[in-house]
Amino acid sequence: MLQRSPWALLTVTTLALPSCTPDPATHITADGIMADVSVLAADSMEGRGAGTPGEARAVAYITRRFEQIGLAPAGDSYLLPIELVGLRKNVTTSSLSIRGPRGALPLANDQNVTYWSTAEKPVVDLRNVPIVFVGYGVEAPEYGWDDFKGADVRGKVLLFLNNDPPVEENGEALFGGAARTYYGRWTYKFEQAQKHGAAGAIVVHTTESASYGFSVIGNTGSRQIWQRTYQLDLLSWIDSTLTERIASSMGTTLTGLFDAAAQRDFRPRDTGYGLTVHIETAIERVEAINVAGVVRGSDPTLTEQYVVFTAHHDHLGMNPDAPGDDKIFNGAQDNALGVAAILATAEAFANARPRRSVMFVSVTAEEGGLLGSSAFVANPPVPLEQIVANVNVDSPQSYGVTRDAAAIGIEMSTLGATFSSVAEEHGLRPAGDPNPNAGSFYRSDQVSFAKAGIPALYLQAGKDYVTPLGFDPYEFRLRHYHQVTDSIHPEWNLEGTARDMQILFETAVRVADADDVPRWVAGHEFEEEWKALYGRW
C-alpha cells in the first residue's frame, strides 16, 4: 500500500484568489492517478502505439474521462485526428557507399552507420553526390553566427557536427554554454539541410556530443519511422571512427574538425568524398488522434486565452519479435503516468475555474518525433496567439515525495519563475535540468510550443527524497526505459506525483489569473518568436 506523506496534500489557500474554490488541489491524489495509470498501462491497450487499435482504445478512455470531469471539447469534438506517414526502409535491397581519395569507408549497417529516407519516394537513387562539411550548420542571427556564409550546397550531402558550437567570447559562453540549445539538436541539422536544398544530411555521432551511445540511434534506418517536417532523400548518422577517416583525408583529425567549426570564420568545406545510395521505402499512411478538452475561464475578457497542459498517451505498441513471452511495451512510466497526472489536474481545475481557460491535450506520436504536438501547434483548435503557456508532463515522479520540485525550463521564462516561487512558498527547493548537455528541453512535446514562441515548462522528477529509497531511481528508470518492463512496479509511490502536480496546478492557476502573460527571459532563443506571435516588441 502507498505510504501517506506529510507532503501529500498541498492546498492553494495561500493564493487567496477569488476565482478558486477551497482547496481544489486536493482533487489531485495518488490513488486517483494510479486508477487511471492502471487502465492506460494495461495489456489490453497493447502499448498504445500511434495509429493502432491500442491507441484507439486509450483515446476512447481518455475521452470518457474528459467527459466525466466536465471538460468541454476544445473544438467541434474532443478528437483532433492527424495523419501520420510511416516509412520503413527495405534493409535487404537498400545500399550505401561512401568513397574518397583513400577508397571506400568500411560501412557496417546499424553498427557504425545508419541511414534512411524521408522523401516519401518508393525509390531513392543518388550517385556519387559530393559530401560537404558544414561544421555545426548553425545560423543564429542573435549571436551573429553563420556557418554557411552564402555557400551553395544545393543537391549535395551535408556533414554536420552534433551539438552547439562551444564558443566563449569576452569570458561568456555563446549559445547555452554547457546547456544545449535547439541549434544543437540533430533535428535542427536535418531542418537546415532541407532549408538549403541539400539532397541529404549526415550527423556525426560522438557519445560526448550526443549524451548517449551510438546504439541508441544505430538501428534508426532499420525500423519504421514517422515522417517529420523535413523531407530529404537521405538522412544518416555515422560514428566517430568513420569521421576520423574522412578528417584524415582532409588533412586533419576529428578534433581538428571540431576546432575549425568552433571559429566564427568557419566556411563549408568539400570533404573529397562522394556518396552513392539506393533506398527502397515502404510508405504507409495511418490516422492517429490528439484529444483536447477545456475548462472555460471565468473572466469574459480573458476566457479566450489558454494555458495548455500536455502529456503524450502513445508508446511503442507491441513487438512480436521481442525476446521472451512479453511482447507489449506498456509504457506505464512513459507516459501513462503523465496522462493520468493531467487527468487529475483537470479535475482540480474543474473545481477552480481561473480567469483564463485551461486546455488539456493528450497528444499522440511523441515517440515518433513529437508529431502529435507539432500537428497541434500547426493546426490548433484555437488561434495560436491565444495560447499563453504550455506545461508538459512526461514520465513524472513515481518513487515518492522529494524536498525539491523539478522542472526543465525554470530559468527560461517567467512561467518557470512562477513555478520556482510556488515551490519555495511550500518549503521546496526548485530544481532545473540535472543534465543540461542532454538537451532534454528539446526532446519532449513542450518544444513544439516553444518553437512557436509560447513559453513552456517540462515537469521532472526531483532527486532529494524525504524517505530514502534503497535503490537508484535514475538507474531503475533507465533500465526499464523503452522496454517491455516499463509497467507498474512495487517500487512506485505516487504521493510524489500528486505533490508535484499540485505544485504545477498552483503554478498554472497563477498564470491563468495573472494580468499579463508569461514571456521568455531577455535574449532567449525563442524570444523573437514570442514577440512575433503576440505582437510585442
H/E/C letters for each residue in 182-210?
HHHCHHHHHHHHHHCCCCEEEEECCHHHH
CA dist 458 → 393, 411, 419, 432 (Å): 6, 12, 11, 10
Judged against a pLDDT cut of 80, whether residue 4 lies above it is answered with no
Of 28-42, 65-79, 280-294, 438-452, which range is least confident? 438-452
pTM score, two decimals?
0.84
pLDDT reading at 367 higher than 70: yes
Q: Is-cis flag, bond preceding 335, omega within 30?
A: yes
In this predicted model, what pLDDT tens digit does every residue of 150-199 receive, in sequence order? 999 999 999 999 999 999 888 888 887 777 888 999 999 999 999 999 99
Q: Is the pLDDT of residue 6 over 50?
A: no
User: Considering the chain, what is the average pLDDT of its residues?
Assistant: 93
| Structure confidence at residue 438 as a pLDDT band (50, 70, 90) | confident
Query: Is domain 87-283 in CATH 2.60.40.10, yes or no?
Result: no
The Cα 11–Cα 24 span in angstroms is 7
Q: What is the pLDDT of residue 391?
A: 99
- pLDDT for position 478: 86
Single-letter residue type at 375 = A
Backbone φ, ψ for residue 263 (5° rounding):
-100, 145
One-letter identity of residue 521:
V
Average pLDDT over residues 237-262: 98
Would you say the C-alpha torsion 180, 184, 186, 192 has a positive or negative sign? positive
Give residue 22's pLDDT.
64
Average pLDDT rounded to a whole number, residues 86-109:
96
Question: Helix H segments across 76-232?
Answer: 186-195, 207-210
Residue type, 459: L
CB 503 within 8 A of CB 428: yes
- Structurally, what CATH architecture does the domain formed by 19-78+292-353+369-457+467-534 represent? 3-Layer(aba) Sandwich (3.40)
* Strand partners for 203: 160, 237
Helices then strands, each counted (H, E), the chain: 13, 21
pLDDT at residue 536 above 80?
A: no
Q: How many residues does the chain have?
A: 537
What share of the chain has pLDDT > 90, as a percent? Answer: 81
Q: What is the pLDDT of residue 473?
A: 94
pLDDT at 216 over 90: no
Judge whether 353 and 298 are in contact, CB under 8 Å.
yes
Confidence of residue 537 (pLDDT cuts 50, 70, 90): low
* Nearest Cα residue to 32 out of 346, 487, 344, 345: 344
Residues in Cβ contact with 173 at an 8 Å cutoff, skipping those fewer than 6 apart: 166, 167
Please tell me the distance from the alpha carbon of residue 104 to that of residue 202, in angstroms, as a whole number: 16
Minimum mean pLDDT among 124-128, 204-208, 216-220: which range? 216-220
Provide mean pLDDT across the span 273-299: 98
Output 385 or 435, whichever has higher pLDDT: 385
Judge contact between 456 and 392, C-beta under 8 A.
Answer: yes
Judge whether residue 7 has pLDDT over 90: no
Q: Where are the domains of the chain?
A: 19-78+292-353+369-457+467-534, 87-283
Query: Cα 121 to chain center, whole Å?
Result: 27
Q: CB–CB of 98/237 below 8 Å?
A: no
Residue 459 pLDDT exceeds 60: yes
pLDDT at 133 over 60: yes
pLDDT digits (tens, 9 = 90+) for 107-132: 999 899 999 999 999 999 999 999 99
Does the pLDDT of residue 215 top 60, yes or no?
yes
Question: How many Å apart are CA 333 and CA 456, to the nearest integer?
Answer: 21
Tens of pLDDT, residue by residue over 493-526, are 999 999 999 999 999 999 999 999 999 999 888 9
State residue 211's pLDDT score. Answer: 78
Long-range contacts of 480-483 (CB under 8 A, 24+ apart): 480/333, 481/333, 481/334, 482/316, 482/329, 482/334, 483/329
Average pLDDT over residues 352-378: 96
Res. 212 pLDDT band, cuts 50 70 90: confident
Identify the band that residue 319 occupies on the pLDDT scale cut at 50, 70 and 90.
confident
| Mean pLDDT to the nearest integer, 44-65 | 98
For cell 469534438, what's the residue? Answer: 77
Confidence tier at 323 by pLDDT (50, 70, 90): confident
Is residue 493 a contact partner of residue 3, using CB atoms and an 8 Å limit? yes
Copy the grid coordinates of residue 493: 509511490
Please state, as a whole number, how many other Cβ atoms lie within 10 Å of the Cβ of residue 522.
6
pLDDT computed for residue 220 by the predictor: 87
User: Is-same-fold flag (19-78+292-353+369-457+467-534; 87-283)?
Assistant: no
DSSP state of 147: S
